[in-house]
Amino acid sequence: MRYLDRVQPLALLVLRVVLGAIMIGHGYGKVFGGFSNVVHMVGNLGLPGWLAFPLAATEFLGGILVIAGLFTRIVSLAMLIDMSTAIWKIHWKNGFMGHGGYEFPLAAAAIAFALIFFGAGPIAFDSIRSGGGGGRPKSKTT
């Protein structure tokens, strides 16, 4: 099964593209669809309205950055916080699998969590920026 290790960069790319697409989809409406509604929604959750700015930026711009593999670990941390807050403030009351349940944001949070620790992989701008390796330490056996 060692040959599967060779496709790990592709797996990290898939995780980044999926998470980025999800976040862009959720952030697009926040950025371009009436930002005042987002400020109002955040305020109704009992959070300061100014948090709508990092929320929208994390979802839309962060989604773009994650797909590109640029600042992946930092952006993934912001996405993990974003999804954890969404679970806590919006989805938890609906249960795991109920209508509006937290299974979907939990999956996105899990992908973000993995990317924090694994990095973007070698098929990413982070890899170019850091001189290769995508932020992952090189194995002593390779």
State yes or no: pLDDT of 136 exceeds 60: no
Q: What is the pLDDT of residue 133?
A: 52
The pTM score is 0.87
7-20 confidence digits (pLDDT tens): 999 999 999 999 99
pLDDT in tens, 66-112: 999 999 999 999 999 999 999 999 999 999 998 999 999 999 999 99
The encoded tokens of residue 3 equal 């040959």
Q: Encode 29-45: b = buried (16+ Cβ within 10 Å), e = exposed.
A: ebeeeeeeebbeebeee
**pLDDT (mean) for 46-66:** 97
